């Protein structure tokens, strides 16, 4: 029996990581984020050891012994089953982001719909999304399991923690497995909200000033500062001029968010 909850943390015994991956696999399957044998999950065990889900197996039916350990070259070190055919994508992310210790990949229907439509989830319509993930871009299509897919993701991995993969699905990652999973859940939730606004035919975007405040909160969270409250209307809570309304183009907004994310990474 797998646990119903897992804890944050990247430093755990291998046995616990195995149990956590099976729990997250079941959540991904039960929430409909991966059908049949789709999806894959991994955790960094050490500098050259990645614990990963096997290929050709439902993520809702795995037991700890089904998992495979590979090195950073993709060679199997331990385990009976074959690793996920998407291991190249996982290795790219681990090599590019030393801060990342866990990765989740799935095909949650709404976010994957946006990916299939080539539409990024980058409009500032929800404050929590701006704080949690900034924006979610779409990587160009690459054949699954090939270097083409890794090449498509590479330019985006440094500046984002969740990426839509065109005509395919979603990949999210973070400091630990629970963070990576919650980012997958947040991405699908945001996609659903975005879809509802499309159905309603109206989206009210946060102003550039509001996005700036949220981006500042995001940077403080990421830097490990004391918990900070959500932005309020109190003008004294923010930097000079923060209450002033400004208008930004989408490109300016994206570069503002990207710059904030880059800045917060540099101080981690």
Q: Is 138 helix (H, G, I), strand (E, B) or coil?
A: strand
In the bound state with Zn ion, the residue whose beta carbon lies nearer, of 70 and 131, is 70
**73 in catalytic set:** no
- Shortest spacing between CB 86 and Zn ion, in angstroms: 6
In the bound state with Zn ion, the residue whose beta carbon lies nearer, of 134 and 169, is 169
Of the candidates 197, 226, 182, the one whose C-alpha atom is nearest the C-alpha of residue 20 is: 182
Options 86, 185, 198, 244, the catalytic residue: 86
At 72, list the tokens: 């950073």
Chain position whose Cβ is nearest to Zn ion: 169
In the bound state with Zn ion, the residue whose beta carbon lies nearer, of 156 and 206, is 156
Query: How far, CA to CA in Å, does 230 sit from each of 2, 65, 106, 215, 218?
Result: 35, 43, 30, 11, 10
- Shortest spacing between CB 53 and Zn ion, in angstroms: 12
Binding site for Zn ion (CB under 5 A): 169
At 247, list the tokens: 């208008």
The rounded radius of gyration (Å) of the Cα atoms in the chain is: 19
In the bound state with Zn ion, the residue whose beta carbon lies nearer, of 142 and 169, is 169
In the bound state with Zn ion, the residue whose beta carbon lies nearer, of 124 and 169, is 169
- Shortest spacing between CB 165 and Zn ion, in angstroms: 7
The answer to whether 175 touches 99, Cβ cutoff 8 Å, is yes
Distance CA 73, CA 95 (A): 10
Q: Where are the beta strands (DSSP E) in 72-134?
A: 76-78, 102-106
HSE (CB half, 13 Å, CA atoms) of 226?
1
Distance CA 199, CA 113 (A): 14
- Shortest spacing between CB 171 and Zn ion, in angstroms: 8
CA dihedral 126→129→130→136, nearest 10 degrees, is -120
- Shortest spacing between CB 179 and Zn ion, in angstroms: 20
Active site residues: 86
């Amino acid at each position: 029996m797998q646990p119903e909850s897992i804890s944050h943390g990247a430093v755990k015994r291998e046995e616990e990581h195995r149990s956590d991956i099976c729990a997250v696999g079941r959540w991904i399957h039960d929430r409909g984020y991966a059908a049949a044998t789709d999806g894959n999950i991994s955790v960094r065990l050490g500098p050259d050891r990645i614990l990963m889900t096997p290929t050709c197996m439902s993520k809702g039916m795995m037991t700890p012994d089904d998992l495979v350990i590979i090195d950073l070259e993709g060679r199997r070190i331990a385990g009976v089953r074959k690793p996920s055919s998407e291991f190249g994508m996982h290795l790219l992310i681990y090599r590019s982001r030393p801060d990342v210790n866990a990765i989740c990949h799935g095909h949650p229907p709404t976010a994957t719909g946006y990916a299939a439509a080539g539409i990024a989830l980058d409009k500032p319509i929800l404050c929590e999304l701006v704080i949690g993930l900034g924006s979610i871009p779409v990587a160009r299509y690459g054949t699954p399991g090939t270097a083409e897919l890794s090449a498509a993701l590479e330019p985006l991995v440094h500046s984002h923690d969740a990426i839509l993969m065109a005509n395919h699905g979603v990949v999210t990652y973070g400091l630990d497995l629970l963070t990576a999973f919650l980012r997958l859940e947040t991405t699908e939730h945001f996609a659903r909200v975005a879809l509802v606004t499309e159905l309603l035919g109206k989206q009210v975007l946060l102003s550039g000033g509001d996005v700036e405040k949220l981006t500042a909160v995001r940077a403080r969270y990421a830097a490990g500062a004391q918990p900070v409250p959500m932005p309020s209307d109190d003008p004294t809570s923010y930097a000079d001029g923060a209450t002033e309304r400004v208008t930004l183009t989408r490109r300016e907004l994206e570069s503002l968010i990207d710059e904030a994310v880059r800045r917060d990474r540099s101080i981690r």
